[in-house]
């Protein structure tokens, strides 16, 4: 998708949302107005926000003398979360510091080329033989303006920004937005759940969409949070990170177990499925492979998984062989009419019941010349006739 098309869809979508909200409020459409007032729906240019305060009905609970078991489990859960948040905080600080140090060292290693002044001694000189340049596969030399003292400075990769249309395809943006929204909501639920566990008042909970960026927020009463125990405050602050870590762990386990979850719906170990065919390949087109085809074997080489595919291809490259076809079958299939369509030769127009799946082959029959050998003397020798070239 072109950038202009994506920008057009973006502007049209937000304009439609803003116009629809404006018209429904002007016309005083009762169901929409009641919904907006109940859930705090606000629509602004490139911004949509929903805020509800219903969450705080039971969010401020008086401390009981007997702590139930569920509250002990919640307290233990968020204690683990606080420890995990501290480990992540220290770890990301060390990692980012390492990145800053590495990038700074790399930038400092770039220095302008300076040719030192050297006096030329008065000595006898002789013309040296021309040097022969030896070509090798070494990496390209630095630019004329800068040279690098340490070439290993940029070998590692750090944090890479996500830029739609550059390293994030436009078609993946809906999935990316949904993932961000789920992660943000789970993050804020972690903060609010930790706050209610320690009787810290939660005024409300909301979600928003700013342009293409989704997010969520928890409105925690600052005075109530300030009066809580320092350990409880730490657990409230770390609740969001902890829930995101748990969410990432669950997602990773689901990713690993996806083949087992979906195994009743598809076969496994019964061939390889074609996902794409290069347009430059001889198997491209109606007469070749199509996306979705299942390859079970190549000649007599059985294929059960993608490693078998590679082994069969390597085997065919090493042991190239042809197949014998009777001459009568070749002569019966000779075509007299040929045509070219999209750089593809069609030679089956002479035959009935022919589709684009049929392929053309060129016959390369060897032409042999018969040489007659006899023991009889040549006529020139018998007649004793000599041939002399006249100049």
pTM summary value: 0.59
Strand segments (E) across the chain: 42-44, 47-52, 110-112, 146-148, 202-210, 213-220, 272-273, 294-295, 297-298, 301-302, 339-341, 344-346
Q: Which residues contact 349 (CB under 8 A, 6 or more apart)?
A: 335, 337, 338, 339
Q: Please, are residues 317 and 299 in contact by the beta-carbon 8 Å criterion?
A: no
Among all chains, which residue has been given the structure tokens 């010349």?
Answer: 369
* DSSP state letters, 341-365: ETTEEE--TTSSS--TT-------P
Measured from the Cβ of residue 352, the count of other Cβ atoms closer than 10 Å reads 5
Long-range contacts of 374-383 (CB under 8 A, 24+ apart): none
Phi, psi of 200 (to 5 degrees): -95, 125
Distance separating the N- and C-terminal Cα atoms of the chain = 79
Tokens standing for residue 387: 């041939």
Q: What are the 10-residue block averages of pLDDT along the chain, 391 residues in total?
A: 80 92 91 90 91 61 57 89 93 91 84 53 50 47 43 54 79 88 94 90 91 90 91 92 95 90 77 85 76 86 86 81 75 73 66 64 57 52 49 44
Q: Which residues contact 49 (CB under 8 A, 6 or more apart)?
A: 40, 41, 42, 43, 206, 207, 208, 209
Q: In 126-267, which ranges are continuous DSSP H helix?
A: 173-197, 222-227, 230-261
CA distance 27 to 285: 57
Tell me the Cα Rg of the chain.
39
């Amino acid at each position: 998708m072109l950038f202009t098309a994506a920008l057009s869809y973006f502007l049209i979508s937000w304009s439609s949302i803003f116009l629809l909200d404006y018209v429904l409020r002007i016309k005083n459409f009762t169901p929409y107005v009641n919904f907006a007032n109940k859930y705090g729906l606000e629509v602004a240019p490139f911004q949509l926000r929903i805020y509800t305060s219903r969450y705080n009905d039971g969010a401020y609970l008086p401390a009981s003398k007997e702590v139930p078991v569920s509250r002990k489990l919640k307290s233990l859960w968020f204690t683990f979360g606080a420890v995990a948040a501290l480990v992540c905080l220290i770890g990301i600080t060390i990692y980012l510091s390492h990145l800053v140090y590495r990038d700074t060292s790399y930038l400092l290693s770039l220095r302008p080329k300076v040719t030192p002044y050297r006096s030329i001694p008065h000595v006898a000189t002789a013309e040296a033989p021309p040097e022969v340049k030896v070509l090798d596969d070494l990496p390209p030399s630095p630019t004329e303006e800068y040279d690098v003292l340490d070439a290993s400075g940029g070998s590692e990769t750090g944090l890479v920004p996500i830029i739609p249309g550059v390293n994030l395809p436009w078609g993946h943006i809906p999935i990316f937005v949904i993932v961000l929204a789920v992660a943000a909501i789970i993050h804020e639920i972690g903060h609010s759940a930790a706050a209610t566990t320690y009787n810290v008042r939660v005024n409300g909970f909301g979600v928003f969409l700013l342009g293409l960026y989704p997010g969520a927020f928890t409105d925690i009463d600052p005075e109530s949070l300030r009066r809580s125990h320092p350990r409880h405050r730490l657990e409230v602050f770390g609740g969001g990170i902890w829930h995101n870590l748990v969410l990432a762990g669950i997602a990773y386990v689901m990713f690993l177990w996806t083949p087992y979850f979906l195994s009743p719906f598809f076969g496994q170990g019964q061939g390889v499925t074609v996902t794409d065919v290069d347009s430059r390949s001889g198997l491209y087109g109606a007469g070749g492979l199509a996306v979705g085809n299942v390859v079970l074997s190549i000649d007599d080489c059985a294929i059960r998984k993608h490693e078998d595919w590679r082994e069969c291809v390597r085997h065919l490259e090493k042991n190239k062989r042809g197949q014998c076809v009777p001459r009568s079958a070749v002569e019966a299939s000779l075509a007299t009419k040929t045509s070219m369509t999209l750089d593809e030769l069609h030679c089956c127009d002479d035959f009935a019941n022919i589709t684009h799946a049929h392929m053309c082959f060129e016959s390369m029959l060897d032409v042999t010349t018969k040489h007659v050998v006899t023991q009889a003397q040549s006529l020139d020798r018998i007649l004793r006739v000599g041939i002399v070239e006249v100049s």
